[in-house]
Amino acid sequence: MKLKKTKITISKVKSFEKSNLPKIQSILNEIKCWYGEKVGDIDFLTQIINDEYKPFYLAKINKRIAGIIILKINEKTIRIEYIAVDRKFRNIGIGRRLLEFVKKYCVDNQYEKIYVQTRHLARCRRFYRKVGFALIRCDNKEGYSEYTWKS
Ligand SMILES: CC(C)(COP(=O)(O)OP(=O)(O)OC[C@H]1O[C@@H](n2cnc3c(N)ncnc32)[C@H](O)[C@@H]1OP(=O)(O)O)[C@@H](O)C(=O)NCCC(=O)NCCS
């Protein structure tokens, strides 16, 4: 089943409603293993919300939080810092919609490019290619490789 355009809303997080926090944390907890223990902690989230260069958006379906995207805005570029979709809502087009949203944000605000760095090639390749990103670089770091994708 794919989403119809009208079913999903994407909105910026400006402050935490207590009721939203557990869901946001549980979605981010899944990517903690790659990005470190702090991801999802209240201090981490509060810091992001207070950082004007790190816009934080939620995708909702019928008011239920289904996905998260956190960006990092530089002078001319947008970096996707974190993207994650709730397991219950994967493979129905939410990740794609979040990235389409970022592409529009990029054009509307006249940034030059969007990029994202991942630690996994195989598991990310299909997703990022499908949504219009190209692999532009691979860096060997200590103990892992880092892949850079650009749109
Ligand atoms: C990666 C992730 C954000 C994708 O979100 P999603 O909402 O499930 O993705 P979509 O349904 O929008 O999929 C968009 C396209 O990518 C493909 N795709 C999505 N996840 C994929 C996967 N794990 N493997 C292969 N292809 C995948 C889909 O088939 C779809 O293609 P289609 O439109 O031609 O059918 C989500 O699976 C997730 O949160 N994973 C855990 C966190 C993570 O891995 N983050 C790093 C991203 S590399």
User: Residues in the chain, how many?
Assistant: 151
Residue 141 lies in a domain: no
CB 135 near ligand 1, within 6 Å: no
CATH value at residue 110: 3.40.630.30
Distance CA 130, CA 146 (A): 20
Residue 150 lies in a domain: no
Q: What pLDDT sits at residue 3?
A: 63
Helices and strands per DSSP (H, E), number in the chain: 5, 7
Nearest CA to ligand 1 atom 40: 84
Distance CA 83, CA 31 (A): 9
Q: How far apart are the first and last CA of the chain?
A: 26
Residue 125 lies in a domain: no
Residue 104 lies in a domain: yes
Residue 146 lies in a domain: no
Q: What pLDDT sits at residue 17?
A: 76
How many separate domains does the chain show? 1
Distance CA 106, CA 44 (A): 25
Give the range of the structural domain holding residue 15, as residue numbers without chain letter: 5-114
Residue 143 lies in a domain: no
Banded model confidence at residue 5, pLDDT cuts 50, 70, 90: low
pLDDT tens readout for residues 26-53: 999 888 777 777 887 888 888 898 999 9
Against a cut of 0.85, is the pTM above it? yes
Residue 27 lies in a domain: yes
The share of the chain scoring above pLDDT 70, in percent, equals: 96
Alpha carbon of 21 to those of 45, 53, 108, 112: distances in Å?
Answer: 9, 21, 30, 33
CB 40 near ligand 1, within 6 Å: no
